[in-house]
Amino acid sequence: MNSAILITYDAEDAIIEAKGLCDAAGYQVVHTIKQKFLKRPKYGISGGVLEELEELAGKLRPDVIVFDEILKPSQNYNLASVLHREILDREALILEIFESRSSSAESKLQVKLAQLRYEMSRAKEKVRLSSMGEQPGFMGIGKFEVDVYYNDIKHRMKTVRSKLEKAGKQRELHRQGRKRMGFKIISLAGYTSAGKTTLFNKMTGETRAQSKELFTTLSTTTRRVTINSEPFLISDTVGFISKLPAYMIDAFKSTLEELVHADIIIIVIDVNDALLELKKKFASCMRTLSELGVEKDRMIYALNKEDLLEHGEIDEKVNMLSLTETKKWISVSAKTGNNIKDLKKLIKDIIENQNSYKSRKEVFGVQKNW
Ligand SMILES: Nc1nc2c(ncn2[C@@H]2O[C@H](COP(=O)(O)OP(=O)(O)O)[C@@H](O)[C@H]2O)c(=O)[nH]1
Ligand SMILES: [Mg+2]
């Protein structure tokens, strides 16, 4: 696993999420620098912090430095010149996660398109700087080369777009292939750090991979699990990310394709989140799933990290999310394993319900034809 020094905001939510993103991209965070401001003109950070960082980088020799904000190319260049390390800003990091997790042809193209958009927005700054004569030969390239570079990106975007139009048609075939394997599919969805991977490991009896240790879900995001002696496939998906830039939304959604053909989707909710945060994340999650065409009758809700709260608090939050009536929620602790059995029972009940609903529909269909 590669290592990273993380520079992020000095706020608990930001730190947890940034670490979760590093983890999902396959970087082990060896040191975290917390800052109130990350938008200073030259380096993002102050000169003093840069000195501290330079020393740390020399000592810890991380593979990359993750900067949990958006960096301009000039800032990225300035940082890399001092630190002699690859600098990944927040968007580059997210794109790495999507790239490693995109499996279908369509998803790979969507991610490619987002990467080109990222490059494009940076090429624009380079063009602007060199045409203003402000930084001629900026980062070793002159205006002519920048123009060539810019046009090349434009051309590549066009190619990817036209490939995407064709790939959309293949998706249907892919989906049918999955169904034919005969397994019921369970998918885990939810925000980064909600505990999806921990729950995935708990349910499949895997104890090795957890966020603080080596990250293994990158290669093994789907495993077999037996519930009530019936085999299922369960898969861990890319987590929702707060403040996801608009141009990445299609790429993100395309990595969630598994959810479209899953029989059961477990929405993993961090019940320890503050009320407002909880509500906001839940709404955004439900909106995206509905846009993907995931119906509510396939969803169940796992309120995770119940070990951190009192029962009264959990009930209050369940109420606030209007889940009480659904009878499809359960509070669990992926960490202690509490209520995992009941979660499996809930899955079994829903599947049985789906089966009987399907057979009713079939009978009805036969009658109609007859
Ligand atoms: N207290 C507590 N912590 C948990 C629980 N489940 C996960 N965590 C912690 O939450 C963090 C994020 O978990 P992870 O499974 O990587 O989240 P993911 O991003 O959704 O895959 C890790 O530090 C876990 O140890 C739980 O039930 N209780
Ligand atoms: Mg995870």
Q: Residue 362 corresponds to which tokens in the numbers above?
A: 């079939």
Residue nearest atom 14 of ligand 1, based on CA coordinates: 195
Q: Containing domain of residue 305, as a range?
A: 181-363
Q: What number does the ligand 1 atom closest to the CA of 308 have?
A: 1
Q: What is the pLDDT of residue 223?
A: 85
Distance (Å) from CA 192 to ligand 2 centroid: 7
Tell whether the model's pLDDT for residue 368 goes beyond 70.
no
368 in any annotated domain = no
Please tell me if the CB atom of residue 20 comes closer than 6 angstroms to any atom of ligand 1. yes
Burial of 309 (C-beta count, 10 Å sphere; 0-12/13-18/19+): middle
81 and 150 assigned to the same domain: no
Among the bound ligands, name the one nearest to the CA of residue 270: 1
Return the pLDDT at 33: 98
pLDDT exceeds 50 at position 263: yes
| 304 and 266 co-located in one domain | yes
- Higher-pLDDT residue of 352 and 218 is 352
Q: Determine, yes or no, domain membership for 60.
A: yes
Regarding predicted confidence, which is higher, 333 or 175?
333
Asked whether residue 186 falls in the same domain as residue 286, the answer is yes
In a domain, 172, yes or no: no
Domain match, 14 and 135 both? no
Within this chain, do residues 20 and 149 fall inside the same structural domain, yes or no? no
Average per-residue pLDDT for the chain: 87
Are the beta carbons of 24 and 215 closer than 8 angstroms?
yes
How much is the pLDDT for 268? 98
Cβ of 15 closer than 6 Å to ligand 1, yes or no, is no
Are 234 and 343 contacting, i.e. CB atoms less than 8 angstroms apart? no
Q: How far is the CA of 100 from the centre of ligand 1 (A)?
A: 21
CATH number of the domain at 312, please: 3.40.50.300
Global pTM reads 0.86
Indicate the pLDDT class of residue 216, thresholds 50, 70 and 90.
very low
Residue 67's contacts (CB-CB under 8 Å, 6 or more residues apart) are 7, 38, 44, 79, 87, 88, 89, 90
Q: What is the pLDDT of residue 32?
A: 98
Q: Residue 174: pLDDT band by 50, 70, 90 thresholds?
A: low
Same domain, 155 and 240: no
239-243: average pLDDT: 91
Question: What integer pLDDT is reported at residue 356 of this predicted model?
Answer: 80
Q: What value does the mean pLDDT take over residues 204-221?
A: 49
Q: What domain count does the chain have?
A: 3
Residues 280 and 337 in one domain: yes
- The CATH number linked to 12 is 3.40.50.11060
pLDDT at residue 217, as a whole number: 38
Question: Which residue owns the Cα nearest ligand 1 atom 9?
Answer: 195
User: Which has the minimum average pLDDT: 169-183, 255-269, 334-348?
Assistant: 169-183
| pLDDT score recorded for residue 219 | 38
Which tops the pLDDT comparison, 237 or 343? Answer: 343
Domain boundary among 98, 118, 138: 98
Q: With a 6 A CB cut-off, is 333 part of the ligand 1 pocket?
A: yes
pLDDT, tens digit, 9 for 90 and up, residues 28-78: 999 999 999 999 999 999 999 999 999 999 999 999 999 999 999 889 989
Span between the terminal Cα atoms of the chain, in Å = 61
**Ligand 1 neighbourhood includes 264 CB (under 6 angstroms):** no
pLDDT, mean of residues 147-173:
85
Query: Which of 98, 121, 145 is the last residue in one of the domains?
Result: 98
Residue 171 lies in a domain: no
188 and 57 both lie in a single domain: no
Could you identify the atom of ligand 1 that is nearest to the CA of residue 338?
A: 27
Do 140 and 185 belong together in one domain? Answer: no
Percent of the chain at pLDDT > 70 equals 85
Are residues 69 and 141 located together in one domain of the fold? no
Q: Are residues 274 and 331 in the same domain?
A: yes
Within a domain: 185: yes
For residue 9, being part of any structural domain is answered with: yes
pLDDT at 238 exceeding the cut of 70? yes
pLDDT digits (tens, 9 = 90+) for 310-323: 989 999 999 999 99
Look at residue 89 and tell me whether its pLDDT is greater than 70: yes
Domain boundary among the residues 79, 98, 117 is at 98
Q: Which atom of ligand 1 is nearest to the CA of 190?
A: 20
Is 220 a member of any domain? yes
Q: Is residue 170 part of a domain?
A: no
What local confidence, expressed as pLDDT, does residue 214 receive? 37
- Ligand nearest the Cα of residue 238 is 2
In this structure, the answer to whether residues 266 and 147 fall within a common structural domain is: no
